[in-house]
Each structure stands twice: as C-alpha cells, then as structure tokens.
Amino acid sequence: MREISYPLSGSCQCGGVTYTLNEPPLMIVACHCRECQKLSTSAFSITAMVKPEAVVFSGEMSDWSRSSDSGNISAAKFCPTCGNRIYHYNPDDSSTLKLKPSNISDTRVINPTLHVWISEKQDWYQIPEGVKTFQKQPS
C-alpha cells in the first residue's frame, strides 16, 4: 500500500468550506456514544485528532454546541449551506481539534486506532482485534 502524502485537502459536500491538513493526525478515534450515532447516522462517528496549527480552513462556518456527559462543552463548526460537520472542539482546551475526516481527499487516513464509548456500541458491529477500547470516554 502506498504511503499517505501530506498535505491533504478536504471540503464539505457543497465546497463552501475547504481545508488543508498539513501533517498526520495524532490519532483516529471511533466513538460509539448515542450522540455520535445521531451525528453520523451510523454505528459510530470517526474523528481525527489534529493539532490546530496543522490545519488551515477557508470558508464561512457556523457554530453549534452541547454539554457532554463529562460536563465539558462539545462545540462544532459546520458548513451553513450543506450542513456538513467540519470539526469539533472543546472551548476550554485549545490543544487539539476533532476533525471529521470523511470529507478528506485521501480517506485511507480513516483507520481508527481507538474505540470509545463501546458501552453504547451497536451489537452487530465487531471491533477489530487488537484495537484499544474504552467503555466510556478516557480521562
């Protein structure tokens, strides 16, 4: 398999928001919580944890947020035209962005190395052997 070359580009469905990811994600996480199931309309949501300085965004984005079970705020940026989520973040922790990588040019980067909230996982989905898991959110 060929190596993934950076930078990678990404965009929402309508192309109103674009971005460039200049380096590999810190990790790829699959979250199985009910809120992520709603977000993804699937069994889990995939997030690429990236350094804020590793990604450059262009285009207008809207905001949305909610409280999480931990008491933290889960905030999101999304395209106001097509509604695609671009990234999530914690306003109290600027060390990482939670990029939604399904809209990236080379989707081979989407290979979860960590599965969280498996206590809410759909029974029909089998997590691959050897992948690290957490019943809820790791501390």
Query: Which domains are assigned to the chain?
Result: 8-133 (2.170.150.70)
Instruction: Give me the pLDDT at residue 71, please.
Output: 73
> In order along the chain (139 residues), what is the average pLDDT of each group of 10 residues?
87 97 95 88 92 97 84 88 94 92 90 93 94 89
pLDDT in tens, 68-106: 776 777 899 999 999 999 999 988 888 999 999 999 999
> For residues 53 and 78, what is the distance between their CA atoms, to the nearest angstrom?
19
Instruction: Give me the pLDDT at residue 1, please.
Output: 61
Q: Which residues contact 58 (CB under 8 A, 6 or more apart)?
A: 17, 18, 19
Q: Dig out the tokens for 81 from the structure.
A: 């035209």
Using alpha carbons, list the distances in angstroms from residue 103 to 67, 69, 85, 92, 122. 25, 27, 9, 26, 24
Query: Is residue 128 reached through a cis peptide bond, with omega within 30 degrees of 0 on the bond before it?
Result: no
Q: Which residues contact 77 (CB under 8 A, 6 or more apart)?
A: 57, 61, 62, 63, 85, 86, 87, 88, 89
